[in-house]
Amino acid sequence: MAAAGLLAAAGMATVVVSTAPWLALIGFLVAGLGLALTAPIAFSAGARVAGVPAGHGIAAVTTVSYLGFLAGPPFIGLLADATSLRASLAGVALLCLVSAAMSRRLP
């Protein structure tokens, strides 16, 4: 999970600093690969929480995932409108780093 978060953060950082569209596309590709790796790990960890039935853990992970899926893009857009697109995408890179740092707390 830590490696996936760092991979996603590196991809988003590439997007933020890139000046060429092709480099930004590569950054999005790398970020997507990193984030794609986190989903199965999160579901697996949700199923292994001590004292919680596996179905309830997976349901909790799914709920939080849907919240991020629905609220994330509008929040990034609002932040981009208030600051800049680069700043809002830098925030995404920062959240990927937070995810990598918090991965040690996974069961």
Percentage of the residues of the chain whose pLDDT score is greater than 70: 98
| Burial category of 91 from C-beta neighbours within 10 Å (exposed 0-12, middle 13-18, buried 19 and up) | middle
Q: What angle do CA 107, 72, 93 make, to 5 degrees?
A: 70
End-to-end alpha carbon distance in the chain: 12
Proportion of the chain in helix, strand, coil states, percent, rounded to 5: 85, 0, 15
* pLDDT value of residue 103: 86
* pLDDT value of residue 106: 67
* pLDDT value of residue 85: 94
- Report d(CA 20, CA 86) in Å as an integer: 14
Specify the length of the chain in residues: 107
User: pLDDT (tens digit, 9 = 90+) per residue, 50-102?
Assistant: 999 999 999 999 999 999 999 999 999 999 999 999 999 999 999 999 999 99
Q: Quick check: 107 pLDDT over 80? A: no
* pLDDT value of residue 104: 80
